[in-house]
Amino acid sequence: MRILAVWDNETEADLISMYLGIEENELTMTTAADFRAAIESGQPFDIVLMTIGLPDPETGFELFELVRERYPDSPVVGACPPSDVFRVVRFMAHGMSAYVTRDAGGDYIFMLHAIMKSTLDAVRAAREKELTKKLREEVESVRKLQASVLPKNLVAPSGYRICARYEPSQIRVVDGHPVVLAGGDYYDVFTLPDDNIVLLVGDAAGHGMKACLSIMTMHTLVRMMRRQEHRDTSHFVEEINQGLCEQSIVTEKGGFITLLYGILNAQTQTFQWSAAGHHPPLLQNLETGTIEPLAGQDAGGLPLAVDEDEEYESYVCKLPNNFRLLLFTDGLEEAFPADDDENQFGVEGIIRTLAECVELPLEETLQRLFDASNEFTQGSGRKDDTSVLLLERRD
């Protein structure tokens, strides 16, 4: 501890200096006459020890207020004889953290180190708790902003049904309460001028505030460009990529975003899509029972915001009459049991769950996907944000 102390008794001051000067403490001991100069020196102190009546109660209080002004983050421990304890109330009401009574025998000196250390620890713990609370509030406000851009009412073409869900990851902080993080996952569904339907999911690298702001930046670009004539999904993804490469909030420290962007033509039952570092959609044929990706894992190009000159491919799939199409972020598959980073839920777990839910309603199937992935972690929970978009057509 770096301690500033002012004392009115030279003999006691020597004992205090000797006692508090042990255990690597940095002690500055001064008299009342030099106390003001010590305060105004600008030297950093972790804690201040002062007699409250030096050289008289009023001047002592003025010095105390000066300490609070110059060292607002340093707790103050006061000392007074038993007869003056009533004066402590005024000091405590104005921010003094603790006090000690000076018994005639001087035994209190041997309590000073423990009192000052516990006071400093308590003040720091209280500040950490307050900081955690503010951090939780800040994260929650950003998370709500993120949630506000997710579509509330998903409109599907005639003959189709669609549902989607986003679930953020969580952490536990010092007081044991879970904090729902602002995340980097995103999904969107909207209708183009030609009545085709856009389905997309995105995932920004990392977690927390930066990932959230990155995905909000992409959302803004998507919404700005959605009315443009981009009949080829690859052209749209290339435009988004070039826009994101100009945004430092996304690109700094190696940031990037994966994206799956698709257009459903409900009349022809075709699905055109492009991927930027993202897993291909899974197609469940409800007539044959097969469940497989629309392309191999290497389909598509680099994630967004990596190379502004990257060219992307478009893929077109003719959909069966009865099917389910699943778009998802890697939080769904990358679910691991506690203390096991090799055995994951994986695409195999997703396919298994889809097969088990073939007769269930679409919304219940979506819930089962989240439940199965979470149960696979054996109580540890998914460590990544998760977005899932599920489209269905049945005769």
Residue 170: its pLDDT value, please? 57
- For domain 2-126, the question of CATH label 3.40.50.2300 is answered with yes
- Count the neighbouring beta carbons within 10 Å of the beta carbon of residue 2: 14
Pairwise CA distance, residues 161 & 324, whole Å: 9
The model carries a pTM of 0.69
Could you tell me which of 313, 221, 209, 212 has the C-alpha nearest to residue 260? Answer: 313
The predicted structure's pLDDT at residue 241? 95
> How many whole angstroms separate alpha carbon 349 and alpha carbon 332?
9
Q: What angle do CA 209, 212, 213 make, to 5 degrees?
A: 85
Per-residue confidence in pLDDT tens, the chain, 395 aa = 888 888 888 888 888 888 887 667 788 888 767 888 887 887 888 899 988 887 788 888 988 898 888 888 899 999 998 988 999 999 999 999 999 999 888 888 888 888 988 999 998 888 888 887 787 777 777 777 777 788 888 989 999 999 999 988 755 444 555 555 667 888 999 988 888 999 999 999 877 778 888 988 999 899 888 766 667 999 999 999 999 999 998 998 889 999 999 999 999 999 999 999 999 999 999 999 999 999 988 888 999 999 999 999 999 999 999 999 999 999 999 988 877 778 899 999 999 999 999 999 999 999 999 999 999 988 777 778 899 999 999 98
- Say which CATH superfamily domain 149-393 falls into: PPM-type phosphatase domain (3.60.40.10)
Structure tokens at 120: 């400093």
pLDDT confidence of residue 23: 62
23: phi then psi, degrees, rounded to nearest 5: 55, 40
The domain ranges of the chain are: 2-126, 149-393
| Residues forming a β-bridge with 27 | 3
Give the 3-state secondary structure of residue 119.
Answer: helix
> What pLDDT shows up at residue 351?
97
pLDDT at 174: 43
